[in-house]
Structure 1
Amino acid sequence: MYHRVAEVDLDPWSLCVTPQHFAEHLEVLQKYVRPISLQQLAQAHRDDKIPHRAVAITFDDGYADNLHHAKPLLERYDIPATVFVTTGNIGKQREFWWDELERLVLQPQRLPEKFSLKIKTTTHHWELDAATCSEDDLKCDRHPWKAKPGSRLFFYYSIWQLLQPLPESDRLKTLDEISAWAMVEPIARPTHYSLLPEELLALDQGELVEIGAHTVTHPFLSAHSVAFQRHEIQQSKADLEEILNRPVTSFAYPHGDRTTETVELTRTAGFDCACSTVQNIVWRQSHCFDLPRFGVDNWNGEEFAKQLSRWFYD
């Protein structure tokens, strides 16, 4: 499971693998395992004939760098991949909300020392230990919730927790409030763009890349009603099929979050398979609508090979 192939100054959730390291990963995969598409893996699982050392590559969210950086490398090594796209961000001039929040509060600009934010009926208050942001503030190793209390990263994660369950409209309104407080211009960074409709079509061209659905607004599905979940799942499929003019049959649960009801909603929506974020291999007892995946960090090729061997043999 990948998200981005890019180099950025700050990556609090460890979503980025550099193009150099991604190329090294593909070289390792080409040398030691059998890369196949997700749909091939799902069909082989249904047939109880998964090829020896089969591996499928996936990307979550739908960043533009999946087209500009990842696809050329996939083509160079002739390795297939599935890109799960959050459709509400297609063509938008705003970053994904977690990236926008990072841009507002984790960049080195000076911030006011106090901040208050009203969410529904509760007002939350923060006092920043330092109005400026140091490198130590941003050390996280994919775990912002482990940040030191009072640090800028702790401040970021505290707000992230409040924004995450909000409806999309309320979340964006709150981000506008934070932007005004931080006195930061609401300008999306080119390095964090989502796919445009024409880029989605370009990504879909050829035989190597499959486009899958990843909901409309990237929610924790289990926190919402069945009706809300059904809309997020079905609408993301419909959005992509309208742009691509073909069936979309693969799905990934945002954050890997799902319930038994969520899984059934995905199946009845017309998908063939769905991916979680449970770290495990796909084997006979795996569920085709709850396929596990291993998350990949920005390892060099040697470290990636070590991780790959652990996944296959541990």
Structure 2
Amino acid sequence: MRAQLRHLYTKLFEPRAAVLMYHRIAAPSSDIWEIAVSPANFEQQLAFLKKKYQVISLQEMADSVANKKIRRNSVALTFDDGYVDNYLQAKPLLEKYELPATFFISSGNIGQETPFWWDELEQLILFTQQLPATFRLGQFQSQADLKDENYLTEDLRLKHTSWRACDEAPPTSRAQLYYSLWQELKPLSHAVQQEKMQLIREWANPSGETLPELKSMSLAQLQELGRNHLFEIGAHTVSHPALAFHEAPYQKRELAENREFLRQATGQGVDLVAYPYGNYNTDTLATVASLQFKAAFTTEERTINTQAHPHRLGRFQVKNLPAQEFSQALSRW
């Protein structure tokens, strides 16, 4: 009974804070995972936050958890992965409104020409103009008969660009193949992922090049971000693995090497970490504790209060909403 009353009191009266999660600040033609916010909507969101909330650094948020003193009406901003648009679009707008933010960087893609595997897979399967009629490679569990979908019609393109993969079933055979391959590749190590991606590239034989907007920041851009007093750099592993699918030594190597790269690149201490895909297990929690990360963040949508576990802190994925709809979403959170 006492525990129930304490929970009710916490829910009704104790100050709560929110951490907002962004990935891309862009207006791409396709955004099946709904991780892009247009620069126009992002600016509206920042203006609203500046006016209505206390936007604090993630370090301050982590300290408030450690000290069990949550600042009422406080919000922190985070960006995952290290897409180049974080530097080109988010950085100048954050500077304009003088709002702090933390960028969780997957270091393996910094300065590389190739995009993250999930972005490349989307382009290969959903938007290559002409594919073979069947996908049957011995190294994959996924198989498909594309039939008349091997050629990308305008109708197919529209179905793919309007698809929201988190909430909707795949609308086409191509989309079903993409989703099946995404599920198959996600748990793998980076080396095995890349071996399988090369087989998919050879099968698809695309004629176009990587879209420049899918690339990550350059090293120089990351370094400039790290020199700005508004911004913190956080760990996000080297190769963005789904950590819970891997043994503890692999997890530790991914986290430790990522942090060391970021320390060397920016000169910052790196005390905060976000789990790729929000994926973690008990080994992950033990690893981030042994590496002495001050706080770790998931993708679990929950507010932060004095009872929050410092290595299981929730965040809310921000969607591409103008100010009024954004304010309604915040009020629900």
Q: TM-score range by the shorter chain?
A: over 0.9
Q: Structure 2 length as normaliser, TM-score?
A: 0.88
For residues 13-60 of structure 1, the C-alpha deviation after alignment (integer angstroms, 9 at most, x for no partner) is: 111100000001101111111100100011112122211100000011
- Ranges in structure 2 where 5+ consecutive residues have no aligned partner: 1-20
Number of aligned residue pairs: 308
Alpha-carbon RMSD across the aligned residues, in angstroms, is: 1.6
1:296 and 1:233 mapped to 2: Cα distance? 25
1:256 corresponds to which letter in structure 2?
A: G
Alignment of 1:178-197 (within 5 A): 178-185=200-207, 187-197=209-219
Which one-letter code corresponds to 1:53 in the other structure? N
- What is aligned with 1:101? 121
CA contact (8 A) 1:46 1:288 kept: yes
Conserved? CA contact 2:128–2:206, under 8 Å: no
Counting only pairs closer than 5 Å after superposition, residues 99-248 of structure 1 correspond to structure 2 as: 99-107=119-127, 109-119=129-139, 124-129=142-147, 130-133=149-152, 134=156, 135-143=158-166, 146-148=169-171, 150-185=172-207, 187-248=209-270
Contact 1:62–1:83 under 8 Å retained in 2: yes
Q: Please state how far the C-alpha of 1:242 moved relative to its aligned partner.
A: 1.6
Would you say 1:91 and 2:111 are equivalent positions?
yes
Change (3 A) 1:27 1:8: same
1:41 is aligned to 2:61: yes
Q: Taking every aligned residue pair, what percent have the same amino acid on both sides?
A: 37
Where in structure 1 are there 5+ consecutive unaligned residues?
Answer: none
Give the match's secondary structure for 2:127.
coil
CA distance in 2, matches of 1:195, 1:295: 21
Deviation, structure 1 residue 75: 0.7
CA–CA distance in structure 1, aligned partners of residues 270 and 159 of structure 2: 43
The reply to whether residue 12 of structure 1 matches residue 32 of structure 2 is: yes
Quote the offset at 1:111 in angstroms.
Answer: 1.4
Looking at structure 2, the residues matched to 33 and 70 of structure 1 have their Cα atoms a distance apart, in angstroms, of 19
Give SS of 2:79's match. strand
State which of 68, 71, 74 in structure 1 corresponds to 2:91.
71
AA matched with 1:132: Y
Q: Secondary structure at the match of 2:209?
A: coil
Q: Which moved more, 1:168-177 or 1:252-261?
A: 168-177
Q: Quick one: structure 1 residues 78 and 214, their matched pair in 2 at CA, closer, same or farther if it must change by over 3 Å?
A: same
SS in 2 for 1:59: strand
Secondary structure of the 2:138 match is: strand
Whether 1:309 and 2:313 are equivalent positions in the alignment is no
Q: Distance in 2 between matches of 1:9 and 1:219?
A: 26
The structural deviation recorded for 1:116 is 1.5
Contact 2:145-2:173 within 8 A present in 1 as well = no
- SS of the equivalent of 2:163 reads coil
Bigger RCO of structures 1 and 2 (CA < 8 A, at least 6 apart): 2
The question of 1:26 aligning with 2:46 is answered yes
Q: Answer with 245-254 or 77-86: which moved more.
A: 245-254
Aligned pair in 2 of structure 1 residues 138, 64: CA closer, same or farther (>3 Å)? Answer: closer
- Single out whichever of 139-148 and 169-178 deviates more from structure 2: 139-148
Alpha-carbon distance in structure 2 between the residues aligned to 1:241 and 1:274 = 17
Instruction: Could you list the structure 1 runs, at least 4 aligned residues long, displaced by more than 4 angstroms after superposition.
Output: none
Shift of 1:144: 7.1
Do the aligned residues in 2 keep the contact of 1:144 with 1:157 (CA within 8 Å)? Answer: no
User: More deviation in 75-84 or 169-178?
Assistant: 169-178
Query: 1:144 and 1:31 mapped to 2: Cα distance?
Result: 32
Match of 2:10 in 1: none
The one of 272, 296, 307 equivalent to 1:250 is 272
User: Do 2:142 and 2:181's aligned partners in 1 also have CA atoms closer than 8 Å?
Assistant: no
* Distance in 2 (alpha carbons) for counterparts of 1:3 and 1:52: 26
Distance 2:214 2:67 in 1: 40
Q: State the 1:118 CA deviation.
A: 2.8
Deviations 1:225-278, CA, capped at 9 Å, x for gaps:
011111111111111112112321110001111112211211221311110011
- Residue identity in the other structure for 2:146: L
Change (3 A) 1:123 1:309: closer
Post-superposition Cα deviations, 1:137-173, rounded to whole Å, max 9, x if no partner, equal 454324277214x532111111111111222122112
SS at structure 2 position matched to 1:212: strand
TM-score (norm 1): 0.93
